[in-house]
Structure 1
Amino acid sequence: MIEDDKSNNNIPNSEQLVEQQQPLSKKHKIVAGILVVFGVFVFVAWIVQLKNSISSPFAYKGNEQNQSNNATTENNDEALKTKDSDKDGLSDWDELNVHHTSPYLEDSDSDGFSDKQEVDNGKDPNCPAGRDCSVDQTNQQATTTVNSNINNVNAIVGTQPVTTPNLNVSNTVVPVGGQPDTATLRQLLFQNGMKKDDLDKISDKDLLEAYAETASNTQ
């Protein structure tokens, strides 16, 4: 009987089980919440670290490539500053970036004087000796302007009838296939909006040729 009582004492009764299954206290809940938050923080930090570990090598390679390109450009510039391919006394860098001459031709304008000689004498190494290149440039611009004006002549004459107010018969209309004088053509173009200064730049010969070309194209 005594042994039975001892064995019965070792078996927890229902009241003891109820006490053991009581809900967590407020303190326990707080601790559990802190542990959950800490666990989430650790997990997020691990994800971020993993992402950085994956992407960092590629970002490093990109930065390394940019630095390599910049270093290559700087090295090329430094090499050009000490290189003189045509042996004219000017570095390739100066010829390309300052004087705009050929680094492979000792005399870029082929006038018998080296680029270095012309630069030292205050001359244009791209303009042959004895030539006024500023005049050439002005003539080229003037030619471009005249050609543009002639195109305007063609456009206007090809679409408008020609009136001849200076002829004896007033308001006579000359067909496109006719041959009016230059004064009539100039008057027509002036009436259609072309500036007098532009008209004065066109010779009578060019004006008549433009008219004849337009007339032949419209027949």
Structure 2
Amino acid sequence: MMIIGITTLVFGFFQMHRAISEPLEIEGNVKFKTADELEEERLAQMKEQDTDADGLNDYDELYLFRTSPFLADSDSDGLDDGTEVAQSSDPNCPQGKSCRMAGSTPADSGEVAGLPTTPPNISPDEETMLLAMEKVFGGLTEMTPESMNQRLQELTADELRQFMLDIGVPEDMLQQTDDATMRQLLAETLVDLNKENPVTPEEGGETSE
């Protein structure tokens, strides 16, 4: 079983949020892009946008520097992430402090495969989404694509719509989207999460605590 990384989890559901909130292309029946096409578009868009206007694009923040793309100053030390990177300092560690654990590196200090119980540097939007996911799918440290998919099949129509509202999908958009479409978008999101978190042969077997 593979625990989902916090970054992958949040952005997977932000992608689903956009897919529902943006107008759907309808030509007879609703047409959906493949998981590969959605992932390619997501990564390309992240490389072009700087959500928190700190001088670093969202892709580099998530996959290179492990900083928050929603907070200009991820470590809240008064210097934005772009400035700290330009000065070759750690944008995840406040100035004057030593934050790195023994044996860690800048690349793995925020490793998405290691999921903390209370993730640091969370924006209000991220926190709202994570709380909604915990309410429906269980604790972050136990959340896997497999367990989420199983829970998805168990959700009633009302529970599904309430979850969508809780993660920020506008109600008027939900009224224009049927249950089957929402379930398909959720299922495609879980496919993307599985691709981001491949299971190795060792991980595929049962684990013991």
Please say whether Structure 1 and Structure 2 have the same fold, judged by a TM-score greater than 0.5: no
Q: What is the TM-score of this pair, normalised by structure 2?
A: 0.33
TM-score, normalising length from structure 1?
Answer: 0.31
Structure number with the bigger relative contact order (C-alpha 8 A, sep ≥ 6) is 2
Q: Which has the higher helix share?
A: 1
